[in-house]
Amino acid sequence: MRIGELAARAGTTTRTLRYYESRGLLPARRSVNGYRAYDEEDLRLLRQIRTLQDFGFELEETRPFVECLQAGHPAGDACPASLEVYRSKLAELDDCLARLQAVRDQVAAQLARAEEERAELEREAVRPGGPEPQCELSTPRGPHRN
């Protein structure tokens, strides 16, 4: 298949495919007439790359998975280098989650403090002997005139 068909089937652009080719992730085979030629295996490589990128992997992080497929393994994550990338990504995600949890805890503490301060202000406003709310219409302002 030619580059346009591969791009359409993979849900990407020909520009992206050329970029992957320049990075050594997609083989650059040419037909006798000079056109780029691809097959189902190339589509499989592209789907692996796209899936990993959808998960947040950087393009270079997909290389061990592509190389694993190119080596003839049935899955791109069947090789030790791929497993190491998974471990590294998982550690990165765990760190990110821990930082997010810390921020969430701080926001929850701020909210609890702010709600307590507001409740205290409301309690003070309704205490017996506390200041009475004033209404301009109910408070006389000098001699009454008719």
**Where do the domains of the chain lie?**
3-125
21: phi then psi, degrees, rounded to nearest 5: -60, -45
Tens-place pLDDT, residues 81-110: 999 999 999 999 999 999 999 999 999 999
Cα distance between residue 55 and residue 57, in whole Å: 6
Spell out the per-residue pLDDT of the chain, length 146, in tens. Answer: 999 999 999 999 999 999 999 999 998 888 888 888 999 999 999 999 999 999 999 999 999 999 999 999 999 999 999 999 999 999 999 999 999 999 999 999 999 999 999 998 888 877 666 556 666 665 555 555 55
In terms of Cα–Cα distance, which of 13, 6, 16, 69 is closest to 36? 6
Q: Rounded to an integer, what is the distance from CA 12 to the centroid of its chain?
A: 20
What angle (nearest 5°) sits at the alpha carbon of residue 106, between those of residues 101 and 107?
95
Can you give the pLDDT at residue 146?
53
**3-125 topology per CATH:** Multidrug-efflux Transporter Regulator; Chain: A; Domain 2 (1.10.1660)
pTM: 0.69
Show Cβ contacts of residue 123 under 8 Å, excluding neighbours closer than 6 positions: none
Measured distance CA(90)–CA(83) in Å, rounded: 10
Is residue 77 classed as helix, strand or coil in its secondary structure? coil
d(CA 78, CA 67): 11
